[in-house]
């Protein structure tokens, strides 16, 4: 899923790998290891009962410096870890070398900062095809028509197609001219270089393959020649990169009279002077270029009121550098017209994101904005987010898709060629083809490269499929030729922590933080701070103090969208699969024991999955296959713009029993296993009130429509079938539903929400957040609010030994024959139980391990079947009814059969995974 950043749905892999406790950082220097360096060790277990058992979140004002900011509090010693890339002013490379200045992070001996790396981010400008400035805008089918006030219909020019699958947008030539003009007004490269950012051409992080020129060695993607071919108006300059004639010589805003400014004037004139056949609706005086400046000259009457009375509504985020970016684009457009034609609205994701830009009817109007300074976090190894961002299926009902209050495709991109390319990319199951065939001829293809096919055999017939790189490059080219939006930068990622914080992992593309659960098991390192102000946990080694750049609006998993919301939800809810934080293409079973991929005769990919049987939600109930099915189907249909953004090609899930199920996808894809790195929620808290559960047959409801919903069309054209699970309760899917207040913020993840208030002290699922004045908080957390999560460890009163996180780390698990402990409490530490049950130490409890313990069942010493070595290995007094006689050890091992650490990878094959066991 992609996550909107105040800095979905495609992919931010919500990796649930865990960090090693009590690790020590290198003694030399204050720059931590790179993601792939040997010292950047990660663990696939935790939380550690002897280290951090509480994570405290503190929320700040959204600024990266100054009063009230996260980084000010970090420099005062009030945080162990920050969650946002540091500004270059803190770097030694930018001149901050005073070791006595807490703001010089590289120089401060008590701070640790990651090396510079590229971010999985995409920041820029996008537009709104439903705006009355740029189309014949309607709020609903048959509604009142307004516009286009700026003299050009960007779309198909028809009101009869709006709110149908026939609607096309971003297609008219005048609209392309106008957006190309906007692109020429802003120098992405200079703006980025001035701020130590990575400039973008494609709507994708530059570290992904394919990309857009300038390309790295061996990287596929759009060439400079293709970018130059995007210029649709003859004449003008030769691009040095996409929509740029030459550097601005200053910052992002191209100066008046510069080649790019004059090219923007040519394009705007072409858009307003064109015939109706290219979408032009303008009837006023056609402007000319003012000599020497190229400012548009509309004649004696000045700029027509159709522009000044219907200004371009720019939604500008207040966080930097997005505020600068928006202001400079606004200034450039005003300069082009020689008048104020842009009206800015400044705000946060809570004030302009959710209520204006992201939302549509019935939550808010369509026609309430024109441009937004967007930001996305796009994790994962491939640029497979293009479908989520640009497929017309995600543009709510405007292009005939499913209704969504907050559609994934908020800019209403419904471009047929782009749709075709992103659809092809979603069902490509190899990255680069190796089978020779006729070259793919679509826009964005590599016409001289015949080696572009993935080959498969279906029903005995060899079938060639376009590979992912070719289809994605085609999508980039279709997008670029239409000038759909304007990517500007990805951040250069350096994140900071106290040096006394051990065990934090530098995740690829993210650093020490930023939404991934790769730091849930840190602890105090062996480093002694030179300034006691910077002690880990403020002197309390059981608490990690984690700064959050800004607040939250939603913890409701169906509505959560931002990094800060998922930094809580990602620790409360666990994921079916996970991946290495430094090799994100390496996805493995997390909540599952085993999985087997197959392909049906129709070419659809299936995954036969077995859940682990030691999974529990925080309320102690077992996680079942029906919970997985309920989650995946409802995320697909009820939250396609957010957490369900990757599920667009999910057809169904067939449950065989409480632990076994088959996930069915449309076609095959390199990304489907990554798309199953999906949260699992407890169905019992989200189903309609009339539904009941059977451990044999799943869910049934009095209202049959809740298990057989109508009107949900799947990727293969069939209608959705739920069957043994219902749709989620609409009242709970609604953004107004607050699980924190309702007591349902309950998952199966590493950490729990536990009430800290006297009225319901210790209650799970509620009461874990407080406002700045100490009062009980809702899910909307503002400046100064705090939230605390508690490690999911075995309660002292537990009667079920698996009422703990299934990868918990606790050295009190019996490690030898006479280790202390008895009963349920002896099974504290499920990682230790796995390593005990895995006698062969290959990362999985297999039949040889079970056979070995079976031969020793009932033995009180060496027997003919049970060797002395095997007896000594298996025997634990703590598990026995009669000390010295192996008894309950056998069912413990049997319960772990097929469980693995990182299946289907062996632990030794994953880079920097700590030595097992």
Average pLDDT, the chain: 91
CA distances in angstroms from 760 to 568, 738, 756, 796, listed in the order given:
21, 17, 8, 19
Q: Is the pLDDT of residue 16 over 60?
A: no
Q: Is the pLDDT of residue 752 over 90?
A: yes
> What is the reported pTM?
0.90
pLDDT at 457: 61
pLDDT at 401: 85
pLDDT band at 429 (very low <50, low <70, confident <90, very high): confident
pLDDT band at 435 (very low <50, low <70, confident <90, very high): very low
pLDDT at 1: 47
Q: Is the pLDDT of residue 2 over 70?
A: no
- Among 220-229, 365-374, 386-395, 463-472, the range scoring the smallest mean pLDDT is 463-472
Tell me the pLDDT tens digit for each residue of 795-846.
999 999 999 999 999 999 999 999 999 999 999 999 999 999 999 999 999 9
Contacts of 111 (CB under 8 A, 6+ apart): 30, 102, 105, 496, 497, 498, 499, 534
Tokens 């605390």 belong to which residue? 788
pLDDT (mean) for 509-515: 74
Q: Is the pLDDT of residue 455 over 70?
A: no
Domains and CATH numbers, the chain: 121-490 (3.10.105.10), 578-733 (3.90.76.10), 823-909 (no CATH)
Q: Are strands 698-701 and 751-753 parallel, antiparallel or unpaired?
A: unpaired
Closest CA to 203 of 490, 422, 445: 490
- Among 170-184, 373-387, 652-666, 772-786, the range scoring the smallest mean pLDDT is 373-387
Q: Is the pLDDT of residue 440 over 50?
A: no
Asked if 679 contacts 565 with a C-beta cutoff of 8 angstroms, the reply is: no
pLDDT (mean) for 317-332: 97
Q: Is the pLDDT of residue 513 over 80?
A: no
Q: How many CA atoms lie within 13 A of 149 on its CB side?
A: 21
Degrees to nearest 5, angle at CA 499 with 901 and 49: 40
- Among 290-299, 311-320, 426-435, the range scoring the smallest mean pLDDT is 426-435
Tell me the pLDDT tens digit for each residue of 514-563.
544 455 567 788 899 999 999 999 999 999 999 999 999 999 999 998 88
| Phi, psi (degrees; rounded to nearest 5) at 332 | -70, -40
Q: Which two tokens stand for residue 387?
A: 């479908």
Asked if 18 contacts 44 with a C-beta cutoff of 8 angstroms, the reply is: yes
Contacts of 395 (CB under 8 A, 6+ apart): 169, 401, 407, 409, 412, 413, 414
Tokens 């780390």 belong to which residue? 809
């Amino acid at each position: 899923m992609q996550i909107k950043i105040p800095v979905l749905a495609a992919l931010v892999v919500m990796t649930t790998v865990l960090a090693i406790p009590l690790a020590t950082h290198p003694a030399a220097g204050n720059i931590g290891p790179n993601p792939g360096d040997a010292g950047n060790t990660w663990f696939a277990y935790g939380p550690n009962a002897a280290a951090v058992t509480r994570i405290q979140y503190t929320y700040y004002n959204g600024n990266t410096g100054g009063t009230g900011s996260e980084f000010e509090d970090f420099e005062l010693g009030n945080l162990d870890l920050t969650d946002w890339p540091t500004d270059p002013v803190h770097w030694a490379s930018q001149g901050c070398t005073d070791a006595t200045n807490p703001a010089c992070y590289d120089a401060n001996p008590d701070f640790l900062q990651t090396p510079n790396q590229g971010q999985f981010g995409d920041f820029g400008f996008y537009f709104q095809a439903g705006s009355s400035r740029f189309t014949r805008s309607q709020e609903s089918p048959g509604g009142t028509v307004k516009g286009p006030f700026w003299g050009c219909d960007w779309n198909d020019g028809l009101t009869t197609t709006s709110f149908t699958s026939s609607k096309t947008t971003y297609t008219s030539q005048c609209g392309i001219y106008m957006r190309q003009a906007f692109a020429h007004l802003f120098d992405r490269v200079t703006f980025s270089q001035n701020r130590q950012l990575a400039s973008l051409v494609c709507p994708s992080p530059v570290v992904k393959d394919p990309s857009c020129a300038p390309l790295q060695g061996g990287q596929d993607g759009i060439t400079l020649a293709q970018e130059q071919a995007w210029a649709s108006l003859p004449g003008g300059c030769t691009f040095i990169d996409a929509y740029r004639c030459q550097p601005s010589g200053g910052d992002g805003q191209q100066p008046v009279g510069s080649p790019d400014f004059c090219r923007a004037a040519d394009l705007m004139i072409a858009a307003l002077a064109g015939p109706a056949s290219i979408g032009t609706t303008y009837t006023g005086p056609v402007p000319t270029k003012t000599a020497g400046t190229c400012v548009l000259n509309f004649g004696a009457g000045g700029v027509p009121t159709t522009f000044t009375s219907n200004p371009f509504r720019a939604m500008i985020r207040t966080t930097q550098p997005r505020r600068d970016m928006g202001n400079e684009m606004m200034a450039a457009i005003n300069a082009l017209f020689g008048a104020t034609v842009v009206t800015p609205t400044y705000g946060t994701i809570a004030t302009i994101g959710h209520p204006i830009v992201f939302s549509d009817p019935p939550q808010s109007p369509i026609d309430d904005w024109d441009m937004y300074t967007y930001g996305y976090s796009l994790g994962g190894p491939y640029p497979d987010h293009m479908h989520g961002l640009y497929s017309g299926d995600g543009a709510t009902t405007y292009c005939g898709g499913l209704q969504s209050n907050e559609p994934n495709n908020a800019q209403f991109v419904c471009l047929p060629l782009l749709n075709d390319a992103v659809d092809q990319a979603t069902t490509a199951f190899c990255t680069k083809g190796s089978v020779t065939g006729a070259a793919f001829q679509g826009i964005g293809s590599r016409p001289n490269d015949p080696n572009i096919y993935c080959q498969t055999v279906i029903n005995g017939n060899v079938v060639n499929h376009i590979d992912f790189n070719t289809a994605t490059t085609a999508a980039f080219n279709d997008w670029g030729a239409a000038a759909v939006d304007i990517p500007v930068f990805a951040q250069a990622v350096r994140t900071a922590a106290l040096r006394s914080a051990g065990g934090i992992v530098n995740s690829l593309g993210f650093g020490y933080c930023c939404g991934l659960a790769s730091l849930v098991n840190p602890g105090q390192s062996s480093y002694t701070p030179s300034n006691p102000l910077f002690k880990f946990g403020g002197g309390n080694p059981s608490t990690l103090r984690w700064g959050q750049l800004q607040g939250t609006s939603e913890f409701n998993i169906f509505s959560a969208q931002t990094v800060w919301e998922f930094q809580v939800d990602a620790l409360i809810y666990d994921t079916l699969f996970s991946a290495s934080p430094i090799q994100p293409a390496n996805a493995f079973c997390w909540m599952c024991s085993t999985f087997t991929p197959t392909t049906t005769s129709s070419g659809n990919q299936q995954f036969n999955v077995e859940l682990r049987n030691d999974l529990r939600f925080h309320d102690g109930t077992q996680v079942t296959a029906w919970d997985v099915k309920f989650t995946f189907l409802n995320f697909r249909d009820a939250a396609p713009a957010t957490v369900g953004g990757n599920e667009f090609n999910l057809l169904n899930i067939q449950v065989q029993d409480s632990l076994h199920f088959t996930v069915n996808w449309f076609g095959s894809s390199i990304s489907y296993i990554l798309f199953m790195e999906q949260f699992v929620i407890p169905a019992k808290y989200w189903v309609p009130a009339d539904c009941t559960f059977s451990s044999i047959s799943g869910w049934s409801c009095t209202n049959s429509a809740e298990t057989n919903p109508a009107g949900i069309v799947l990727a293969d054209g069939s209608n959705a079938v739920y069957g043994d699970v219902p749709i989620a309760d609409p009242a709970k899917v609604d953004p107004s539903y607050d699980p924190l207040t309702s007591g349902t913020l309950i998952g199966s993840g590493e950490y729990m929400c536990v009430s800290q208030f006297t009225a319901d002290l210790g209650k799970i699922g509620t009461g874990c957040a407080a406002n700045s004045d100490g009062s009980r908080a809702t899910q909307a957390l503002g400046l100064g609010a705090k939230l605390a999560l508690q490690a999911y460890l075995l309660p002292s009163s537990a009667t079920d030994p698996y009422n703990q996180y299934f990868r918990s780390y606790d050295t009190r698990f019996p490690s030898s024959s006479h280790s202390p402990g008895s009963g349920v409490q002896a099974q504290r530490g499920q990682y230790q139980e796995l390593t005990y049950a895995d006698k062969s130490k290959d990362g999985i409890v297999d039949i040889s391990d079970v056979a070995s313990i079976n031969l020793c069942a009932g033995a009180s010493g060496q027997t003919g079947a049970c060797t002395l070595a095997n007896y000594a290995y298996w025997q634990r007094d703590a598990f026995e009814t009669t000390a010295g006689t192996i008894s309950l050890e056998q069912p413990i091992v049997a319960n772990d059969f097929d469980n693995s650490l990182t299946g289907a990878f062996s632990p030794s094959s994953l880079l920097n995974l700590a030595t097992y066991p």
